[in-house]
Amino acid sequence: MTIAIIIAVCIVLAVLAFLVPRRSAWAQRGVDRTLGAGESAAGSAPGKAGELLRKPFKTSRKATNKSAQKGREGRSKMPL
């Protein structure tokens, strides 16, 4: 279920970044802030458990940022 939500967020960010690149930064920042809060909360667990709990948030955050970046790059390459 969580994976499907992250995939949907990535698709929405990519489309939003392609259509309105400047306004998509706010949506990307909101997603980044939300995943960052989860990452820091999970990382407060002691020892190796904190590192293991932090990893899904970190990879999801990287994926959403990359999809938004690719949407903006695609928009900038258009010959308009």
Q: pLDDT tens digits, residue range 19-68?
A: 998 888 999 999 999 999 999 999 999 999 999 999 999 999 999 999 99
Structure tokens at 18: 């392609």
> Full-prediction pTM beyond 0.75?
yes
Using alpha carbons, select from 41, 36, 80, 75 the residue that is nearest to residue 59. Answer: 36
* pLDDT classification of 79: cutoffs 50, 70, 90: confident
- The answer to whether residues 42 and 50 touch, using CB atoms and an 8 Å cutoff, is yes
